[in-house]
Amino acid sequence: MDGLFNRLRNLDAYPKINEDFYSRTLSGGVITLLSSVVMFLLFFSELRLYLHAVTETKLVVDTSRGETLKINFDVTFPALPCSILSLDAMDISGEQHLDVKHDITKRRLDSHGNIIESRQEGIGAPKIEKPLQRHGGRLEHNETYCGSCYGAEASDEDCCNSCEEVREAYRKKGWGMSNPDLIDQCKREGFLQRIKEEEGEGCNIYGFLEVNKVAGNFHFAPGKSFQQSNVHVHDLLAFQKDSFNISHRINRLAFGDYFPGVINPLDRVQWTQDTPSGMYQYFIKVVPTVYTDVNGNTIQSNQFSVTEHFRTAEVGQLQALPGVFFFYDLSPIKVTFSEGHVSFLHFLTNVCAIIGGVFTVSGILDSFIYHGQRAIKKKMEIGKFS
């Protein structure tokens, strides 16, 4: 056993030095103190990294199919009344959502930005109880009232009991309403009078759209939209206005749900219109994003970049409709963010590297200073130091 112990003793890589041969110096004490502080700071930094989750980023090809895109928006128009503001969405697949009213809320604002009224949809005059006629004919006994659609009926059973229903029937036919005073329902409801009363009001519209995950656009514009000769137009003549102030503030615009670290570049962007009418265009590149937190919960969302453009528009000019347009396209590359903790073995390895590295570097520095001091002192003793 003594021979075995002697062999093990010969393998000792840390030979012990007798304390009688130690030489402690002031510079060594200062270096020891500084190296201890450095060790503590590096250890604390490594401990924080171990306790907090780190995010790993990867780029992969987006192979998802058949998904939808959720667009969350909150836009304020300080000089455009809610009664004339409409929202449309369309994509390259040919699907259209005209005059969207579901899942959105409009709030009427006064000139100071205070809320006057908030409704889910249908801001405007209420439906009249008794329209004037039944397609120009005479009502029979106990027959329910049915207003005329003025030639826009799809069948004899169709009724238009309000100005809004007449406008909707016109839209489906691809017609524009040039003079609402010629429509009995609009005249009784005071369509133009109501527009004049709302002059100077603003509108805040917020909600979300669920669209196909393909390139497309959605826009906010005055008037009800319809298709005419495969061209998307709005019935602006019905409002008898020469120009529309499309000044706006984008309070929030997001493609998908929120996830930590997301930055939406259009949030709190504001445009003030200086020209009589204008077409504000935002060209958006949407990047699909998947965020997985440290607990394994996954959030399917999107990031986007944007380019802004403005062009003047005139009422009745089909190519430059006054409004705010968002044109979006999707990137084929998907970004994935994955949260995770550093393993304990990795943490332990880094701590050992910190202690050993600082101790070694401090020893080299101390040795350099110590031998330098001795060499200088020796030269001074023999008078060769100058």
Looking at 48-187, which runs of residues are DSSP E strands?
54-61, 68-77, 85-91, 96-97, 104-109, 115-119
Calculate mean pLDDT across residues 377-385: 74
Q: Give the whole-angstrom CA distance, residue 282 versus residue 128.
A: 40
What letters, b where the CB count within 10 A reaches 16 and e where it falls short, cover 314-349? ebeeeeebbbbbbbbebbeebbebbbeeeeeeebee
For the chain, the residue count is 386
Exposure of 13 in the CB half-sphere (CA atoms within 13 A): 0
Range ranked top by mean pLDDT from 13-22, 77-86, 191-200, 328-337: 328-337
Residue 215: which pLDDT band, with cuts at 50, 70 and 90?
very high
| Tokens found for residue 181 | 């005073």
Calculate mean pLDDT across residues 201-209: 93
Going by the DSSP 8-state scheme, the letter that residue 150 receives in this structure is T
Which residue, 123, 243, 121, is CA-closest to 194?
123
For the cut 50, the answer to whether the pLDDT of residue 85 exceeds it is yes
For the cut 60, the answer to whether the pLDDT of residue 80 exceeds it is yes
**pTM for the predicted model, two decimal places:** 0.69
Helix (H, G, I), strand (E, B) or coil at 224: coil
For the cut 80, the answer to whether the pLDDT of residue 235 exceeds it is no
Residue 371: which pLDDT band, with cuts at 50, 70 and 90?
confident
- pLDDT value of residue 328: 96
- Higher pLDDT among residues 68 and 171, named by residue: 68
What letters, b where the CB count within 10 A reaches 16 and e where it falls short, cover 240-251? ebeebbbbbbbb
Calculate mean pLDDT across residues 1-28: 67
For the cut 80, the answer to whether the pLDDT of residue 381 exceeds it is no
Q: What is the pLDDT of residues 125-134, one digit of tens each?
A: 444 444 444 4
Residue 15: which pLDDT band, with cuts at 50, 70 and 90?
low
Largest CA distance in the chain: 135
For the cut 90, the answer to whether the pLDDT of residue 379 exceeds it is no
Summary mean pLDDT of the chain: 81
Backbone angles phi, psi at 223, to 5 degrees: 90, 165
Q: What is the pLDDT of residues 136-185, one digit of tens each?
A: 444 444 456 688 888 778 777 788 888 878 877 887 777 777 677 778 77
For the cut 70, the answer to whether the pLDDT of residue 113 exceeds it is yes
Q: Give the whole-angstrom CA distance, residue 106 versus residue 117.
A: 8
Least confident of 50-64, 169-183, 259-273, 354-368: 169-183
Task: Give the CA angle between residues 289, 100, 70 to the nearest 5°.
Answer: 10
| Tokens found for residue 255 | 């493609």
- Higher pLDDT among residues 320 and 71, named by residue: 71
Calculate mean pLDDT across residues 342-365: 88
DSSP string covering 186-206: HHHHTHHHHHHHTTT-EEEEE
Least confident of 76-90, 169-183, 190-204, 263-277: 169-183
Residue 250: which pLDDT band, with cuts at 50, 70 and 90?
very high
- Strand 248-255 relative to strand 231-234: parallel, antiparallel, unpaired? unpaired
- Higher pLDDT among residues 285 and 381, named by residue: 285
Position 314: which residue type?
Answer: E
- pLDDT value of residue 13: 57
Residue 122: which pLDDT band, with cuts at 50, 70 and 90?
very low
For the cut 80, the answer to whether the pLDDT of residue 349 exceeds it is yes
| Tokens found for residue 71 | 């667009």
Backbone angles phi, psi at 226, to 5 degrees: -160, 165
Calculate mean pLDDT across residues 290-315: 86
